[in-house]
Amino acid sequence: VREFGQPDHSAVTTCAYCGVGCAFKAEMQGDRVIRMVPYKGGKANEGHSCVKGRFAYGYATHKDRITKPMIREKITDPWREVSWEEAINHAASEFKRIQAKYGRDSVGGITSSRCTNEEAYLVQKLVRAAFGNNNVDTCARVCHSPTGYGLMSTLGTSAGTQDFKSVEESDVILVIGANPTDGHPVFGSRMKKRLREGARLIVADPRKIDLVKSPHIKADYHLPLKPGSNVAFINAFAHVIVTEGLIAEDYVRERCDLAEFESWARFIAEERNSPEAAQAITGVDPQAIREAARLYATGGKAAIYYGLGVTEHSQGSTMVMGMANIAMATGNIGMVGAGVNPLRGQNNVQGSCDMGSFPHELPGYRHVSDDATRESFEAIWGAKLDSAPGLRITNMLDEAVGGTFKGMYIQGEDIAQSDPDTHHVTSGLKAMECIVIQDIFLNETAKYAHVFLPGASFLEKDGTFTNAERRISRVRKVMAPLGGYGDWEGTILLARALGYEMNYSHPSEIMDEIARLTPSFTGVSYQKLEELGSIQWPCNEKAPLGTPMMHVDRFVRGKGRFMITEYVPTDERTTGKFPLILTTGRILSQYNVGAQTRRTENSRWHEEDVLEIHPFDAEMRGIVDGDLVALESRSGDIALKAKVTERMQPGIVYTTFHHAKTGANVITTDFSDWATNCPEYKVTAVQVRRTNRP
């Protein structure tokens, strides 16, 4: 740890990495961060931190930062530095030309889960009011969109039910498809503390993640289900609850739709949903499922925590509904210590969803076809809004390949590296006539761009982030934007050049507008954030201080709704040619595609992505630890080093996606969730063999 003496200024702000949303005091000397000090007053972290938030800030002033706007006519031309005015005018005239030639719907935008709520709000406003369509989407499309759909359908709101503190009163913790110690370390520590105090633990995950067995912690049950079998698993779990009479009858009678409960219970009780029948699909010992389900249903207050191992499947939304079903059936929603809680990946993925970043929803998750909602926005925005849902990212790329979608404004996203089936993504990008990137680095997607606007790091702007427990926290500016403008200001300039006026002198004014237009935010203001430190939405007349726990006396939608969760196998199948299943994830020191953490000292802990493979599968292929292996799927192939480990089960291999040079998404499939198009990153049929190819 390097220390650099006394700061000349500082501010309390929010970590720009994961969805835990830890508060830090950024201590500065001029434009240099000298320390990020975990802030005790931060309710999400209470003075704790992990190696990303504490040490991985060097990217903000890294030499790779692009600080001048750039344009080029063709993507084969070199970039040319220009003034902001020229870059913005070029982008606007290109978007206008494209819309005049190909139609209003030929352009769209992507908001960023790395940027603030205010910035996401402005990008979707630009798309809706200046472009005149609903072609806006966000990276939640590729991570937690099934959470939004599944929890909205069953409970009535697209967010986790509890605050992080709630875990301190859980008696039983069920972790499904998440690795909190690596992915959400500060919350993971909170969970481990509760486990050391005696809470019981069930882990459902194909890998032996750290929680399964680590110092002082041993899971009561590790259920190593096969990738792609989640819904069969949750149905088997529910089957035990229903057929062994473990339903919380009073709770269900009072709080849920009884007719839907009864049809769900009949479906779940069918023998094909028993743990024994499901074993052929899940690979999990039926007796272990029976015992774990009994523990969940009768062990006291039970909380579910889940991650992308749930959502990034062809049945991601179904699985989210399945978890809500068992929580309602056992009375485990609406009290401290219980609940259904997504561990959201990016610092502001919750916020970008809340801010209307989906093509079918205005801010606050209200459908674009709702006349009254649209009229309220039209009155404030002074623009006529389209009532038809727009295109999702995947549809934009499909239409680009088809020749009808031609322009995109992308703020703080690297879809060429982060989205599945890279070849298809880059084909779509190459087919467009104007791509405007607003980012801090020349990322992979920028290779296909025509205009580059320098973005600002979280240290260079004011705003708010919303974490996985719906907590809105301030982001505070401690240095001037290196490129001259905050991202929100760049969006305003672009909107103006397109002929649509946006007038805000500070992000607090954007939040004031959000509060006017969004029922769950009517009580939110920067002044209240100063007074309270942070606020969990809904924050309105009914809950002026915010809402730590949802669904206390009744579900947001009224009666809780049980959904039928029929298991449908993924179309991604193993064959003789591709006999193994690849699943993907992250490690503690790195973050997503690594654009930030790879440019910090955290790189010394993780220099490359490796392939984890079970000793049996390795021996069959003559692979030893450290060998270079070729990993091939139906989409493509990559090369990386093998790590032979019993963390894996035979038949399943695992890698991370932090390094562009490995490019794990070159080989992932293009199958996706039936309801939301969230890609099925977690299931790819592959073959592995030794190679000499670098």
In the complex, which residues of this chain contact ligand SF4 (CB under 6 A)?
15, 17-18, 20-22, 45, 49-50, 52-53, 184-186
Q: Taking the complex as a whole, how short is the minimal distance between the CB of residue 567 and ligand SF4, in angstroms? A: 33
Q: Taking the complex as a whole, how short is the minimal distance between the CB of residue 130 and ligand SF4, in angstroms? A: 33
Cβ(136)–Cβ(165) under 8 Å? no
Q: Taking the complex as a whole, how short is the minimal distance between the CB of residue 312 and ligand SF4, in angstroms? A: 19
**Alpha-carbon gap, residue 158 to 398, rounded angstroms:** 27
| Ramachandran angles phi, psi of 181, nearest 5° | -70, -30
Q: Taking the complex as a whole, how short is the minimal distance between the CB of residue 52 and ligand SF4, in angstroms? A: 4
Helix, coil or strand: residue 534:
strand
Residues 6+ apart with CB under 8 A from 143: 308, 311, 312, 344, 345, 346, 349, 678
Residue with tokens 């504490």: 54
Q: Which residues pair with 474 in a beta bridge?
A: 464
Measured from the CB atom, the residue of 54 and 313 that comes closer to ligand SF4 is 54
Measured from the CB atom, the residue of 175 and 408 that comes closer to ligand SF4 is 175
- b/e burial code for range 452-487 (CB count within 10 A of at least 16 → b): bbbbbbbbbbbbbbbbbbbbbbbbbbbbebbbbbbb
Tell me how many degrees the CA angle 13-14-18 measures, rounded to the nearest 5.
Answer: 165
Q: Taking the complex as a whole, how short is the minimal distance between the CB of residue 584 and ligand SF4, in angstroms? A: 19
Cα 483 from chain centroid (whole Å): 27
**Alpha-carbon gap, residue 33 to 25, rounded angstroms:** 10
Measured from the CB atom, the residue of 156 and 412 that comes closer to ligand SF4 is 412
Q: Taking the complex as a whole, how short is the minimal distance between the CB of residue 186 and ligand SF4, in angstroms? A: 4
Measured from the CB atom, the residue of 182 and 612 that comes closer to ligand SF4 is 182
Measured from the CB atom, the residue of 22 and 685 that comes closer to ligand SF4 is 22
Q: Taking the complex as a whole, how short is the minimal distance between the CB of residue 129 and ligand SF4, in angstroms? A: 33
Cβ(546)–Cβ(531) under 8 Å? no
Measured from the CB atom, the residue of 185 and 334 that comes closer to ligand SF4 is 185
**Alpha-carbon gap, residue 423 to 682, rounded angstroms:** 18
Q: Taking the complex as a whole, how short is the minimal distance between the CB of residue 611 and ligand SF4, in angstroms? A: 25
Measured from the CB atom, the residue of 22 and 122 that comes closer to ligand SF4 is 22
**Residue nearest ligand SF4 (C-beta atom):** 53
Cβ(323)–Cβ(176) under 8 Å? yes
Cβ(521)–Cβ(540) under 8 Å? yes
Measured from the CB atom, the residue of 183 and 523 that comes closer to ligand SF4 is 183
Residue 532: Cβ within 10 Å count? 14
**Alpha-carbon gap, residue 231 to 318, rounded angstroms:** 7
Q: Taking the complex as a whole, how short is the minimal distance between the CB of residue 43 and ligand SF4, in angstroms? A: 12
Measured from the CB atom, the residue of 49 and 373 that comes closer to ligand SF4 is 49
Measured from the CB atom, the residue of 50 and 475 that comes closer to ligand SF4 is 50
Q: Taking the complex as a whole, how short is the minimal distance between the CB of residue 282 and ligand SF4, in angstroms? A: 31
Measured from the CB atom, the residue of 433 and 469 that comes closer to ligand SF4 is 469
Q: Taking the complex as a whole, how short is the minimal distance between the CB of residue 37 and ligand SF4, in angstroms? A: 12
Residues 6+ apart with CB under 8 A from 557: 152, 154, 155, 156, 157
Residue 583: Cβ within 10 Å count? 24
10 Å CB burial of residue 72 (0-12, 13-18, 19+) is middle
